[in-house]
Amino acid sequence: MIQIYLSSIRCVSDTSELTPDEPYVLVTVVNLAATPVPTFDVTLYAFDGVSSRETHYSQGISSSFWGINARPAQLTDPNNVIFLVTLMENDDGNPQALRSIVKGIVGSSILGSLSLDRTNKVMALLRDVNSASGTPTGGPNYDDKIGPSQELVFSMEDLARAERGELIQKTTWSRGDGGSYTMTFEAVNEFGVFGAIRDKWVAAGRVSGRLGKPVSDEIPTYDGIGRYRNFVGGIISWHPETEAHIVWGSIGARWLQIGREKFGYPINDESPTSDGRGRYNHFRAIHLPNKPESSIHWTPETGAHETYGAIRDKWSSMNWERSHLGYPIEAEHDHAGGRLQRFQGGSLFWTPGGGVVVQ
């Protein structure tokens, strides 16, 4: 299931206007595989204040024209679909009105070309969309086309790679009305990942990154407020107070053992420690009074161990792993009327009356 959308528009040179351009793009989509007659839609992307050598970005995947409303759709055979791209310069026109006009013409064109092969369907549609996009919708300065409408084509290999989770980009070039623009379109399988978790996954490299593909739907956490999603290489956990962060590897395994979000929501992605020897995540227990924070630190020599409470506060005040204590080598546990945690270079011992002392 893939989604296709306009990612960005770049002004190579603006049109012969006294003020910055206001380009808009109409993408006509015809699903030839739909029965009994093809289905279709026209998507509008509008931009303001565009000047030469500027790149402006759309809303991305949330404005997909294949997979409308961020709902992925099946597409494996490029012969089953027609994508036409029309670039306009908005003078005194009404882009939404022109979208409606083009959409009406598309419906008539499809019905009139049902008996034709795909090649002739495309030619008829290009002719009709070009004609419709020249319809005046305002004045005295009518909107102009920046070059004729053109077909956007993804190959079968492109679609197969997108289905596997690769990000496929296609760029078209439109010239006319004194201006020159490139438009970049993207196709990708987002596997139904959305929202803040999707944004984090994208930043981590999507399928090609360490997280890899998702292996679960988005799932509520224990409190019904947060959400998480499992991936091949780890977990992205989200809460509105902490945002979305990655937990994986040995730290992720230990986090799962000790209660995952009940231990605390991650408040950072796994990161290298300051001495370069280990890795760590910090966490926040949203459900506890004062929302205390905790940590899990890992090195190849010590494994992954959590610190929290007064012992963590003391270790932090000593500059964490850079202190003579080094890294924790075990979890905090009961000991002689208090709590004890051993580190590489010593121990921290807590009692209710004496606080934390270094041993």
pLDDT tens string 215-267: 998 999 999 999 999 999 999 999 999 999 999 999 999 999 999 999 999 99
How many whole angstroms from its chain centre is CA 45? 19
CA distance 24 to 27: 10
Residue 166 or 21, more confident: 21
pLDDT at 182 over 90: yes
- Here the tokens at position 328 are 């924790």
| DSSP string covering 238-264 | EETTTEEEEE-HHHHHHHHHTTGGGT-
Whether 22 and 90 have beta carbons less than 8 Å apart is answered as yes
Whether 66 and 81 have beta carbons less than 8 Å apart is answered as yes
Residue 21 DSSP one-character state:
B
Predicted local confidence at residue 72, as pLDDT: 62
Comparing CA positions, the residue from 40, 121, 41 lying closest to residue 79 is 121
* Residue 2: band (very low, low, confident or very high) from pLDDT cuts 50, 70, 90: confident
Predicted local confidence at residue 59, as pLDDT: 84
CA distance 80 to 140: 41
pLDDT at 69 over 60: no
pLDDT at 11 over 90: yes
pLDDT at 17 over 80: no
* Residue 43: band (very low, low, confident or very high) from pLDDT cuts 50, 70, 90: very high
CA distance 242 to 320: 23
> How far from 131 is each of 108, 126, 277, CA to CA, in Å?
13, 8, 66
Percentage above 90 pLDDT, the chain? 85
Q: Average of pLDDT values for 41-62?
A: 92
* Residue 269: band (very low, low, confident or very high) from pLDDT cuts 50, 70, 90: very high
Predicted local confidence at residue 207, as pLDDT: 85
Is beta strand 346-351 parallel, antiparallel or unpaired with respect to 338-343?
A: antiparallel
Predicted local confidence at residue 93, as pLDDT: 95
Average pLDDT for the chain: 94
pLDDT at 68 over 70: no
* Residue 73: band (very low, low, confident or very high) from pLDDT cuts 50, 70, 90: confident
CA distance 127 to 110: 12
Predicted local confidence at residue 153, as pLDDT: 97
How many whole angstroms from its chain centre is CA 307? 33
- Here the tokens at position 287 are 């459900």
Q: Is the peptide bond before 266 cis (omega within 30 degrees of 0)?
A: no
pLDDT at 128 over 90: yes
State the residue for tokens 């790679």. Answer: 161
Is beta strand 234-239 parallel, antiparallel or unpaired with respect to 227-231?
A: antiparallel
pLDDT at 282 over 90: yes
SS (H, E, C) 26-68: EEEEEECCCCCCCEEEEEEEECCCECCCCEEECCHHHHCCECH
- Here the tokens at position 112 are 């009139």
3-class SS at 237?
Answer: strand
Q: Average of pLDDT values for 126-146?
A: 94
